Amino acid sequence: MTVYTLADVVSRTRSILYGAGLGEKPPIRQAAADALETTTGQTTVFAMLAGEGAKVKNSDVLSVYDPSTEADAHVVYVLSTATDTITGVNSYLGSPTITAGDLDSALFEQNAAWTGYEIFQAIETVVDSLLWPYIYKLTSATIASPDLVDGQEAVAAGTEVITHAWQIIGSTNHPVAVSPRQPLEVSTSLASTGLMATFDWIDGSTGYYEYREKVDVTAHARLIALGAAGLLLGGSLAEATLERTKKDNTEAVAGRGQAANAVWRDFLTLRQNISDELSKRLPQRIYIDRG
């Protein structure tokens, strides 16, 4: 499986959003090589490249273009301009706080429909809430010295479901029963990882088990980007609907509504297809219940 970076997912999400023909791409502005950032409370003052300040007006929103990490995804609400000096709201809408050097030579999107910070937030929502239990990663682990008394073992951190367990005795692979109610969350004084499962070991040979864990942003970049774009399109659709008396917002409702439906349908279809493929790899499980 190809391993992607967070930046890959952000770029794919941006391509879906702006590739949907939902209006012009936002203008790009640039900060000075030394932006001379000064932050006091909720306001920040910084310098734009010569001549750029005249292109910015009060109430504009400037968001760092294509930030490499969420920590770089600064968003500023412009309060006032003076030649090429901008005074604005720092950490606007919860975006990262600006400190000295953060905006040197930075490129900004001016009044972007979706800021870089919003894209990062949407990606996190998809990874944290919309993939599991449909999409997961299968991982194998070993238990070097099985507990033959009660079979209770600490299992890997991140284990959501143990799919099966086995021991190799001689040259034969023997299935090992495992409880369906495991893993349990327990004190780290009982299990080093905070997760415990019960196995019905055959003997003291090394034990093996395979488990499902949640995927992170480095896998399934296209799926995550589709989900993030669907969330953002849906959010902008709701916002436009609130002011649909305006002609441009009426058009936005229609265009973004169609795009949101198409993107969301593609996300759900792809998620189901990947889930179906993963299910073909699952073995028959043997469960025990000591309760």
Of 51, 83, 126, 67, nearest to 75 by C-alpha is: 67
Q: Are both 258 and 126 inside the same structural domain?
A: yes
Q: Is the pTM of this model over 0.85?
A: no
Element (H, E) at 212: strand 207-213
Identity of the amino acid at 195:
L
Residue 28 to residue 54: CA distance in whole angstroms? 13
Burial class (CB in 10 A: 0-12, 13-18, 19+), 48: buried
Residue 36 to residue 157: CA distance in whole angstroms? 45
* Domain ranges, residue 148: 137-213
Question: For 140, how many CA atoms within 13 A lie in the half-sphere containing its CB?
Answer: 7
Of 67, 14, 12, 18, nearest to 221 by C-alpha is: 12
Q: What pLDDT is attached to residue 18?
A: 83
Q: What is the pLDDT of residues 245-277, one digit of tens each?
A: 444 555 555 566 677 788 888 898 999 999 998
Under 8 Å between Cβ of 12 and 121: no
Looking up tokens 């990606």, which residue turns up?
123
pLDDT values of the chain reduced to their tens digit, one per residue, 291 residues:
567 888 899 989 988 888 755 546 899 999 999 999 999 989 999 999 999 999 999 999 999 998 989 999 999 999 999 999 999 999 999 999 999 999 999 999 999 989 999 999 999 999 999 999 999 999 999 999 999 999 999 999 999 999 999 999 999 999 999 986 679 999 999 999 999 999 999 999 999 999 999 998 888 999 999 999 999 888 654 444 444 444 455 555 556 667 778 888 889 899 999 999 888 776 655 555 555
Q: Are both 15 and 36 inside the same structural domain?
A: no
Q: Are both 34 and 107 inside the same structural domain?
A: yes
Picking from 78, 112, 146, the residue at the C-terminal end of a domain is 112
Beta bridge partners of 211: 139, 162
Picking from 189, 213, 237, the residue at the C-terminal end of a domain is 213
Of 6, 48, 9, nearest to 226 by C-alpha is: 9
Domain tally, the chain: 3
Under 8 Å between Cβ of 27 and 110: yes
Q: Are both 86 and 180 inside the same structural domain?
A: no
Q: Are both 12 and 105 inside the same structural domain?
A: no
Please state, as a whole number, how many other Cβ atoms lie within 10 Å of the Cβ of residue 98: 24
At residue 184, the 3 state secondary structure works out as strand
Q: Are both 203 and 64 inside the same structural domain?
A: no
DSSP letter assigned to residue 197 = E
Q: Are both 126 and 159 inside the same structural domain?
A: no
Q: How far, rounded to the nearest angstrom, does the alpha carbon of residue 195 sit from its chain's CA centroid?
A: 24
Please state, as a whole number, how many other Cβ atoms lie within 10 Å of the Cβ of residue 78: 19
Q: Are both 207 and 269 inside the same structural domain?
A: no
> Which tokens hold the place of 164?
């099966």
Residue 215 to residue 138: CA distance in whole angstroms? 9
Residue 216 to residue 120: CA distance in whole angstroms? 13
The CATH number for 107's domain is: 2.40.30
> Which tokens hold the place of 253?
């409702």
Q: Are both 88 and 144 inside the same structural domain?
A: no
Q: What is the pLDDT of residues 194-224, one digit of tens each?
A: 999 999 999 999 999 999 999 988 889 999 9
Q: Are both 19 and 34 inside the same structural domain?
A: no
Q: Are both 20 and 127 inside the same structural domain?
A: yes
Q: Are both 175 and 61 inside the same structural domain?
A: no
Residue 55 to residue 102: CA distance in whole angstroms? 21
Residues 249, 16, 74: CA angle, nearest 5 degrees: 75
Q: What pLDDT is attached to residue 214?
A: 92
Please state, as a whole number, how many other Cβ atoms lie within 10 Å of the Cβ of residue 129: 9
